[in-house]
Amino acid sequence: MVVDKLVSQLSSVVCALFCVRSSKRCTQQFKLLERCQEAQDAMEAVITDDNEVEKETQKWMDFESEIRSARGRAERYLEMNTEPADSKKSSPNSASAKLPTWCIPKFTGKVLDFPSFWEQFNAGIHDNAELAN
């Protein structure tokens, strides 16, 4: 029956959740599960035999329990393997870090002014241990 085929396909999706490697893939799997729920609802609307409806409903309830379990495992996996957004903000090497303003005179291009410029540059920027490379 079509419902059995759907259950079989959904079972493979649940198995795939065990191999989740990224939040994007997990999100895609969740969207697929939602579409499958919609398909199940449509199938239940088509079946007219009460016994068949009861059997298929029980199959779906069992499968839905597996889905919830797999989804919980996938969410725990993602929580354990993804960095919180706050930790990225506090990173000293973050691209969004606000560097201190340092006023050094602009190099004029005159050779005699270069040693003075270079000393200020080294002291304030190049040799500053507080600034990351």
Rounded to whole angstroms, the Cα distance separating 125 from 122 reads 5
72-113 residue pLDDT tens:
888 888 788 776 655 555 555 555 666 667 677 777 788 887
Predicted local confidence at residue 7, as pLDDT: 63
% of the chain exceeding 70 in pLDDT: 58
**Placement of tokens 């396909």 in the chain:** 9
DSSP-based three-state secondary structure for 132: coil
Show Cβ contacts of residue 106 under 8 Å, excluding neighbours closer than 6 positions. Answer: none
